[in-house]
Amino acid sequence: MKSERDRVVCFHYELYDEDGELKGSSRGKDAVAALQGHGNVVPGLESALLGRARGERFEVVVPPHEAYGMRREGWTTRVSKKNVVEARRPKVGMSVMVRAAGGVRPVTVLKVGSSVVDVDMNHPLAGHTLRFDVEIVEVREAQPEEIAHGHVHGPGGHGH
């Protein structure tokens, strides 16, 4: 079965920046499960997943505008430490998740105060050309409920 719109594609990946530095990986975790055609992954990766079948391995180079966009200079804000998720002692340069309007998002710590943190709101991978090394582990039909929600349920997807 090949990946097409409204099918679920499960894959492992390693993600590198343009310097060849490893920036992320699903190895040792659940494979990522994405509902094809619903923007569950960045656009450049989503289009590269189209038409793939289980067992395929490939790499795709994705420019910033098809990944996390361009960096916006000076896009910083101050957040309460209470809104920093899962990092008890944020340090300068660290990527952390913060609660902000629109949900939880990854940011980079610029300055740490006693109760607040100044952060760069750009996605840590904004402005980078990314290379994904991908291995397709499963392609399956989606459940009607998954298509209605626009995402996959279960391991690698949503757990609600």
Residues lying near Zn ion in the complex (CB under 5 A) are found at 149, 158
CB of 137 to Zn ion, least distance (A): 21
Which of 113/154 has CB closer to Zn ion? 154
Which of 35/107 has CB closer to Zn ion? 35
CB of 123 to Zn ion, least distance (A): 24
Which of 129/143 has CB closer to Zn ion? 143
E strand residue ranges, the chain: 7-16, 22-25, 32-35, 57-62, 76-80, 84-85, 95-100, 103-112, 116-120, 130-141
CB of 104 to Zn ion, least distance (A): 17
The residue nearest Zn ion at its CB is 149
The first and second tokens of residue 22, run together, are 């490893």
CB of 85 to Zn ion, least distance (A): 21
CA angle 39, 40, 42 (to 5 degrees): 70
Which of 90/156 has CB closer to Zn ion? 156
User: For residue 28, is it left (φ>0), alpha (ψ between -120 and 50) or beta?
Assistant: left
